[in-house]
């Protein structure tokens, strides 16, 4: 966990005042606008990835090419990386040169790593994945002082999170004890939000629909599978990216029980 994290539950709905701006918190049953509409492993697409010496922890070079049966212009490209235990997170924006995308990644420890290649065309989001065994460098890669002075409180709305329903994460961000009111936009948004379930079967990527620059950021998402999840978010401030991560449980909605004293009317 990069920041000091306090999770608070809230059952409040409606609107939240924020310096004359208003954050709208959606109803938990209004899930359609907040589902990440993405095509997983689409037909006609293939990721051809090369890396440096995978047996060498100091060679973190990666490059890949997207093979398409139909020419569709790629408008955005992201690479999300985690390990099999969901302890590590990287969000990279590869550089395009000579029809190949390239980026650098140094694995902190030896093991299997999941690479989620996320791209957006004029038809929408696509997600392709690769699992690669890497040798670790055996040390922390990130600057340990990068998040010094930063703090966050997180409220979940509603208190219990159910699969196929909207949950809103309300992040209250501070720096040196003062509210952050000048978050720097990345891709036009205040925050990037990514999440895997514990089996690495479901990955989602969303951004806030409302971007007021802080000190509160509301991100609404819909998880389709119940179970334990890791959530990773990023925001930019003072020219640096800062991360927040947390573990949460997504519940399966219990079946509705009919009151025997007030039975459901027959469909005659």
Q: Given a cut of 70, is residue 216 above it in pLDDT?
A: yes
- The pLDDT of residue 267 is 44
In tens, the pLDDT along 155-177 reads: 999 989 999 999 999 999 999 99
Q: CB–CB of 45/191 below 8 Å?
A: no
Q: What is the CATH number of domain 38-134?
A: 2.60.40.10
User: For residue 16, is pLDDT > 60?
Assistant: no
Q: Where in the chain is the domain with CATH 2.60.40.1930?
A: 4-36+145-250
Please compute the mean of the pLDDT values over residues 47-52 and round it to a whole number. 81
Average pLDDT of the chain? 85
* pLDDT given at position 39: 94
Instruction: Say what the pLDDT of residue 14 is.
Output: 40
Domain with CATH 2.60.40.10 in the chain: 38-134
pLDDT at res. 29: 84
Q: What is the DSSP string of the chain?
A: --SEEEEEE----EEEEETTEEEEEPPTT--GGGS--EEES-TTEEEEEEES-TT-TT--EEEEEEEESS---EEEEEEEEEETTS--EEEE-PEEETTEEEEE---SSSEEEEEEEEEEETTEEEEEEEEEEE---SS--S-TTTTTTEEEEEEEESSS-BTTSEEEEEEEEEETTEE---PBPBTTBS-EEEEEETTS--EEEE--S----SSEEEEEEE--S-EEEEEEEEEEETTEEEEEEEEEEEBPPPPPPPPTTSPPPP--
Q: Identify the burial level of 233 via C-beta atoms within 10 angstroms of its C-beta, where 0-12 means exposed, 13-18 middle and 19 or more buried.
A: buried
pLDDT above 90 coverage of the chain, percent:
63
Is CATH 2.60.40.1930 the classification given to domain 4-36+145-250?
A: yes
Residue matched to tokens 């990023």: 234
Average pLDDT over residues 28-33: 86
Task: Count the Cβ atoms, other than its own, within 10 Å of residue 202.
Answer: 18
Strand 61-68 versus strand 192-197 pairing type: unpaired
pLDDT digits (tens, 9 = 90+) for 33-46: 999 999 999 988 99
Residue 183 has pLDDT above 90, yes or no: yes
pLDDT at 80: 98
Residue 137 binned pLDDT confidence (cut-offs 50, 70, 90): confident
**Does residue 67 surpass a pLDDT of 60?**
yes
């Amino acid at each position: 966990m990069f920041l000091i994290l306090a999770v608070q539950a809230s059952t409040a709905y409606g609107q939240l005042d924020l310096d004359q701006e208003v954050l709208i918190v959606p109803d938990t049953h209004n899930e359609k606008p907040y589902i990440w509409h993405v095509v997983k492993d689409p037909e006609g697409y293939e990721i051809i990835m090369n890396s440096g010496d995978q047996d060498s922890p100091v060679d973190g070079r990666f490059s890949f090419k997207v093979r398409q049966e139909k020419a569709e212009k790629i408008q955005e490209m992201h690479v999300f990386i985690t390990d099999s235990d969901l302890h590590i997170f990287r969000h990279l924006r590869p550089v395009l040169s000579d029809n190949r995308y390239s980026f650098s990644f140094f694995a902190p420890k030896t093991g299997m790593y999941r690479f989620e290649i996320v791209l957006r065309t004029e038809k929408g989001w696509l997600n392709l994945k690769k699992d690669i065994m890497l040798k670790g460098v055996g040390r922390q890669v990130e600057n340990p002082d990068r998040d010094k002075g930063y703090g966050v409180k997180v409220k979940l709305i509603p208190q219990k999170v159910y699969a196929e329903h909207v949950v809103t994460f309300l992040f209250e961000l501070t720096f040196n004890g003062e509210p952050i009111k000048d978050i720097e936009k990345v891709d036009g948004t205040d925050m990037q939000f990514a999440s895997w379930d514990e089996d690495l079967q479901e990955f989602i990527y969303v951004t806030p629909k409302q971007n007021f620059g802080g000190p509160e950021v509301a991100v609404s998402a819909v998880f389709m599978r119940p179970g334990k999840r890791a959530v990773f978010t990023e925001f930019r401030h003072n020219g640096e990216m800062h991360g927040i991560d947390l573990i949460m449980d997504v519940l399966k909605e219990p079946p509705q029980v009919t009151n025997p004293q007030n039975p459901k009317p027959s469909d005659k």
